A and B are shown apart, each in its own frame.
Chain A
Amino acid sequence: MQGIQMDLVSEDRLAKMPPVEKIRFIIDEVKSGKILVLEKGLTPEEEATLIEMTMTQIQPDDFAGIEMESYPSQPDSSLIGKLFKKNVVRTRLTVIGPANKLKTLKKDRDMISALVSNK
């Protein structure tokens, strides 16, 4: 059966990985054609690193980059968070896929609409 594989990646799965391994895992999976939905999402720093590393992988006629969308992260507003975790942000779901297969149709603060194409 032909199709596009979509992996829903749990928070626990990524939490076990060091940051570099996490980014490498995402790029390898996306380059193989998969679309990933990350339950917890990525931190802003991880998103920036992912963009940076993606740029090193771009090859004409082979890999044009990624489509990535995530909801804006939110500051940790809990009392414990305020007391002990300065500047901690709560990350939210992230969708990542190959740019030639995934296209964002619409996005707002709380909803992402995406088109997946098997061309």
Chain B
Amino acid sequence: MGVIRSFKKNFSNFFKKLFNKKNARIGIYGPPNAGKTTLANRIVRDWTGDAMGSVSHIAHETRRARRREGVTIQSNGGSISLDIIDTPGLATKIDFHEFMEQGMNEAESKRRAKEATEGVIEAVKWLENLDGVILVMDATEDPYTQVNVTVIGNMEARSLPLLIVANKVDLPESSPSTIREAFPQHPMVAISALEGKNIETFYDEIAKRFG
């Protein structure tokens, strides 16, 4: 039975690759706590009814890349099938003391720090296997971070499409215009992944950029 199922899957994948050109592997990147998993959950929930992962206010909650294949988004009269990869937050430093400040004990903090470092390594490796990136930035934070510069630089060097998401516009201190001014060469959409604000525009942009 397993052999037949495997054959069917391979057969189906073969024809998908052959005829379905609008299938793109898209990574959701950004610094810790920018709202990547919240956004991934919203996309997957809106178009499949499922969820992708748990959300937390603690940084580095997503410590392994999560992948959801074949999420079909319909927008502007067309449709595009995406493999969504929710990646761990990229960072250049991980200090276990920051987990302790969140109330964890030392052993647990060190364990989480180790897992977070592995998650960053995995996220960097995924960069090489993508057709495009949704870069999530926290619109209440300074956009000129090394993580943002590195991800944007990598996409530009590979001539791959990039969509910047200014997230958390439901917060009064958010300033999506600062992000737009920082990276004017790339399309940007301002949303609240938590509340779904402007999410239709976001899907339109996905269809436009990755379709």
Q: Is there contact, CB below 8 Å, between B124 and A52? A: yes
Query: Complex: how many Å from CA A58 to CA B115?
Result: 11
Would you call B46 an interface residue if the criterion is a C-beta within 8 Å of the partner chain's C-beta atoms?
Answer: no
Contact residues of B between 29 and 64, Cβ < 8 Å to A: none
Once the chains bind, are A51 and B113 in contact (CB under 8 Å)?
no
Q: How many residues of A contact B (CB 8 A)?
A: 30
User: How many residue pairs bridge A and B at CB < 8 Å?
Assistant: 90
Q: 1/0 per residue B52-90: CB within 8 Å of A?
A: 000000000000000000000000000000000000001
Distance to closest chain B CB from A82 (angstroms): 13
Q: State the CA gap A112–B142 with chains docked (Å).
A: 13
Q: Is B91 an interface residue (CB 8 A)?
A: yes
B154, A55: Cβ atoms closer than 8 Å? no
Contact flag A72-B152 (CB < 8 Å), given A51-B124, A107-B144: yes
Give the number of chain B interface residues (Cβ < 8 Å): 31
**Chain A residue nearest in CB terms to B106:** A60
Closest to B181 in A: A109
Contacting A52 at CB < 8 Å: which of B125, B152, B156?
B125
Residues of B within 8 A of A45 (CB): 154, 157
Residues of B within 8 A of A2 (CB): none
Q: Which listed segment binds A: B5-13, B19-27, B92-100, B168-176? A: B92-100
Q: Is B157 a contact of A89 with CB atoms below 8 Å? A: yes
A-chain residues with CB within 8 Å of residue B145 when the two chains form the complex: 107
In the assembled complex, which residues on chain A have CB atoms less than 8 Å from the CB atom of B157? 43-45, 87, 89
| B interface residue numbers (CB < 8 A to A) | 90-96, 110, 113, 117-118, 120-121, 124-125, 127, 142, 144-146, 149-150, 152-154, 156-159, 182-183
Task: Name 24 A/B residue pairs within 8 A (Cβ), A-sorted.
Answer: A43-B153, A44-B156, A48-B127, A48-B150, A51-B120, A52-B121, A52-B124, A52-B125, A54-B92, A58-B117, A64-B94, A64-B95, A65-B92, A67-B93, A69-B146, A72-B149, A73-B153, A87-B157, A87-B158, A99-B92, A99-B93, A106-B142, A107-B144, A107-B145
Q: A44-B153, A58-B94 are in contact. List 12 more A-B contacts (CB 8 A).
A: A43-B157, A45-B157, A51-B90, A51-B120, A52-B121, A58-B117, A64-B93, A64-B95, A66-B93, A68-B146, A70-B146, A99-B93
